[in-house]
Chain A
Amino acid sequence: MIKLVYILIIVLSFPVLAATHIVCSDCHIGKVSKAVDMSERGDTIIIKSGTYTESLIEIDKPLTIIGKNLPKIKAKNGEKIFHIIADSVTITGLELMEVKRSFTEDRAAINIQGGNYINITDNVFTNTFFGIYIAKSTGTKIIRNRLTSKQKKEMNSANAIHAWSSKKLTVKDNYVEGHRDGLYFEFCDNSTIDNNRSYKNLRYGLHFMFSNNNKYRHNIFEENGAGVAVMYSHEIEMYRNKFLNNWGQASYGLLLKEIKDSKIHYNLFKGNTKGIYGESAIRINIFNNDFVQNGWAMQMMGSSEKDTISYNNFLQNTFNVSTNQNARNYNVYEKNYWSDYNGYDLDKDGIGDVPHRPVKFFSQVLGYTPEAIILLRSFFIELLNFIENIVPVLTPENLKDLQPMVKQLDNDTV
């Protein structure tokens, strides 16, 4: 009996024998698809540098695919390259290119359909329609990839990293440029999006739709059509991101539409047409952010309620706050620093003795007649702003910061 146990232990302690297959243009395996066909579960495929033209490669077993010195894989006829339906697949160190648009199919260089715990790391995507398309996946990690596309027109490009109906994703340290949306999440929960850079995408740098309990932190969104859109979602944590130079007529740093119970802490909004634009944004905490040199720092529409805006710095914005409400305001503005505050602090407690009204008469006028912007710096408008400040007619009477800070806060966002 004891002998049997010994044998059992010895047999069990052998590692699973996983084979390694090497692909190169003059090896006996000259195609990635051939190597995948030959592999068993858990095998490793090493692709040496070179250019490979491949038609659709379906991966239906756990595999590790490693590129040495960034081999190039071109999509034959512009179709998808990898289609993953198995769990635990790793793809690392490849350059994937030339996936073309189709009207009826969402083509991606790497297409994950239902596979869980997939790792896509250190790859380069050049002019792929969708870069990485994730559907019905849990625990997948997308790390240190670089996705660039040269499309000038929005409809010819798709999203760089597109996730749909997935959970617990990690999207970290990626660079995305020139796509429709840089990062896109629809029906995705409990995911983390950290440390990515999203640059010059045609629509949004990051886009959430119907996605709850997600975090995005330490990302930079620069010169996108609009920075980030969070729509029809709740419990989103937005921490230490930079929203820079999202400039244009219909452009925002951050668009909030039908969003609830979320936190916006320690972010930098600089040089945007509108820093934050909120419609039906409910119970949002906007704390410790810096709004610098935006057209409008915040535009909160009347449907936005129970929001708290505290400890933010509003520095050199053309307008700090505007709203389409002129009767009442349902949000709290408290203890912010306003660079255009001209009150005083006689008791020297660091809090201004006179409340500050961040909504200017003229910004309300612009809500009705945008063309009036040409009067922006006129003396008459300054006069009207002053009068409105004393006798509010067009601006909500109770929209005011009762405890404005006299010194700029150190939010350390830069």
Chain B
Amino acid sequence: MKKLINLIPILLLIVACSTEPQEIEYGAENCHFCTMTISDDRFASELVLTTGKAQKYCSIECMVRDVNRTESFTAEDVDNYYVIDMTTPKVLVPVSEVTFLVSEKIQSPMGANLAAFKEKSNAQQLKEEWDGVLYNWDELKTKFN
């Protein structure tokens, strides 16, 4: 039993270092890249560094631009990238699980007309309806490079 109690602080430490995405406080936090106040909960994004530090962005385009241009961290420092499915605001989803759509009908915060969708069928349907182009994460990074 005593050994078990000793384990608790260690467990707590592990939890404290988790690299889960942090909740974004809309209207109070500024975009890490463009300094604009993060306000639209359909477009915000976030990346979590391996140290557990979270960097929050007002839009997907700001995160991609930061990733492409910054010298303050490299791809190896990043644990994961998260974006929001436009149809379910606020919920952060890893970029590997989403499809990106660029269409003039989408007014994303930094002018790139870019949104993410968890269901590929959803993205496909809106692409037909709105006339746009679909991307995955790697293609998106190349597009903004």
A-side interface residues toward B, CB under 8 Å?
A: 103-104, 106, 153-155, 164, 180, 186-187, 202-204, 209-210, 225-226, 229, 231, 248-250, 255, 257, 279
What 0/1 pattern do residues 49 to 86 of B give for CB contact below 8 A with A? 00000000000000000000000000000000000001
Q: Which residues from A are CB-within-8-Å of B35?
A: 255, 257, 279
Q: Chain B residue with minimal CB distance to A180? A: B39
| Residue of B28, B36, B87 touching A249 (CB-CB under 8 A) | B28
Taken together as a complex, chains A and B put the C-alpha atoms of A186 and B34 apart, in Å, by: 15
Taken together as a complex, chains A and B put the C-alpha atoms of A225 and B86 apart, in Å, by: 24
Q: Which residues from A are CB-within-8-Å of B27?
A: 153-155, 202-203, 225
Taken together as a complex, chains A and B put the C-alpha atoms of A225 and B28 apart, in Å, by: 8
Given A154-B26, A155-B89, does the pair A186, B111 have CB atoms closer than 8 Å?
Answer: yes
Q: Chain B residue with minimal CB distance to A250? A: B30
Q: Is the CB of B26 within 8 A of A231?
A: no
| Residue of A104, A187, A249, A250 touching B111 (CB-CB under 8 A) | A187
B-side interface residues toward A, CB under 8 Å?
A: 26-30, 34-37, 39-42, 86-87, 89-90, 107, 110-111, 126
Chain A to chain B contacts (Cβ below 8 Å), 20 pairs: A104-B87, A153-B26, A154-B27, A155-B26, A155-B41, A155-B89, A155-B90, A164-B107, A180-B39, A180-B40, A187-B111, A209-B110, A225-B37, A226-B37, A229-B36, A231-B36, A250-B28, A250-B30, A255-B35, A257-B35
- Name the distance in Å between A209's Cβ and chain B's nearest Cβ: 6
Q: Which residues from B are CB-within-8-Å of A153?
A: 26-27
Q: Chain A residue with minimal CB distance to B122? A: A104
Apart from the given pairs A155-B27, A226-B37, A279-B35, 11 other A-B contacts in the complex at a CB distance below 8 Å = A103-B42, A104-B86, A104-B126, A153-B27, A154-B26, A155-B41, A187-B111, A203-B27, A249-B28, A250-B30, A257-B36
| Residue of A164, A202, A248 touching B39 (CB-CB under 8 A) | A202
Q: Which residues from A are CB-within-8-Å of B110?
A: 209
Q: Is the CB of A103 within 8 A of B111?
A: no
Q: Which residues from A are CB-within-8-Å of B86?
A: 103-104
Taken together as a complex, chains A and B put the C-alpha atoms of A229 and B58 apart, in Å, by: 14
Q: Which residues from B are CB-within-8-Å of A154?
A: 26-27, 39
Q: Which residues from A are CB-within-8-Å of B26?
A: 153-155
Q: Which residues from B are CB-within-8-Å of A164?
A: 107
Q: Which residues from A are CB-within-8-Å of B36?
A: 229, 231, 257
Task: Give the one of B29, B42, B107 with max A CB within 10 A.
Answer: B107
| Residue of B39, B107, B111 touching A155 (CB-CB under 8 A) | B39
Q: Is the CB of A203 within 8 A of B34?
A: no
Q: Which residues from B are CB-within-8-Å of A204?
A: 37
| Residue of B28, B111, B126 touching A210 (CB-CB under 8 A) | B111
Q: Is the CB of A250 within 8 A of B37?
A: yes
Taken together as a complex, chains A and B put the C-alpha atoms of A210 and B90 apart, in Å, by: 26
The 7 tightest CB contacts between A and B, nearest first, are A154-B27, A155-B41, A154-B39, A203-B39, A203-B37, A250-B30, A154-B26
Taken together as a complex, chains A and B put the C-alpha atoms of A154 and B41 apart, in Å, by: 9
Taken together as a complex, chains A and B put the C-alpha atoms of A121 and B111 apart, in Å, by: 29
Q: Which residues from A are CB-within-8-Å of B28?
A: 248-250
Task: Give the one of A103, A153, A204, A249 with max B CB within 10 A.
Answer: A103
Taken together as a complex, chains A and B put the C-alpha atoms of A152 and B89 apart, in Å, by: 17
- Name the distance in Å between B55's Cβ and chain A's nearest Cβ: 15
Taken together as a complex, chains A and B put the C-alpha atoms of A70 and B30 apart, in Å, by: 40
Taken together as a complex, chains A and B put the C-alpha atoms of A225 and B107 apart, in Å, by: 22
- Name the distance in Å between B36's Cβ and chain A's nearest Cβ: 7
Taken together as a complex, chains A and B put the C-alpha atoms of A187 and B40 apart, in Å, by: 19
Q: Which residues from B are CB-within-8-Å of A106?
A: 107
Taken together as a complex, chains A and B put the C-alpha atoms of A104 and B87 apart, in Å, by: 7
Q: Which residues from B are CB-within-8-Å of A226?
A: 37
Q: Which residues from B are CB-within-8-Å of A155?
A: 26-27, 39-41, 89-90
Q: Which residues from A are CB-within-8-Å of B90?
A: 155
Task: Give the one of B27, B41, B86, B89 with max A CB within 10 A.
Answer: B27
Q: Chain A residue with minimal CB distance to B115? A: A104
- Name the distance in Å between A239's Cβ and chain B's nearest Cβ: 24
Taken together as a complex, chains A and B put the C-alpha atoms of A52 and B26 apart, in Å, by: 35
- Name the distance in Å between B72's Cβ and chain A's nearest Cβ: 14
Q: Is the CB of A250 within 8 A of B39?
A: no
Q: Which residues from B are CB-within-8-Å of A103?
A: 42, 86-87, 89
- Name the distance in Å between B84's Cβ and chain A's nearest Cβ: 10
Taken together as a complex, chains A and B put the C-alpha atoms of A255 and B37 apart, in Å, by: 11
Taken together as a complex, chains A and B put the C-alpha atoms of A155 and B27 apart, in Å, by: 8
Task: Give the one of A154, A186, A187, A209 with max B CB within 10 A.
Answer: A154
Taken together as a complex, chains A and B put the C-alpha atoms of A225 and B90 apart, in Å, by: 20
- Name the distance in Å between A126's Cβ and chain B's nearest Cβ: 22
Task: Give the one of A164, A202, A204, A250 with max B CB within 10 A.
Answer: A250
Taken together as a complex, chains A and B put the C-alpha atoms of A203 and B126 apart, in Å, by: 29
Taken together as a complex, chains A and B put the C-alpha atoms of A154 and B39 apart, in Å, by: 6
Taken together as a complex, chains A and B put the C-alpha atoms of A144 and B52 apart, in Å, by: 50
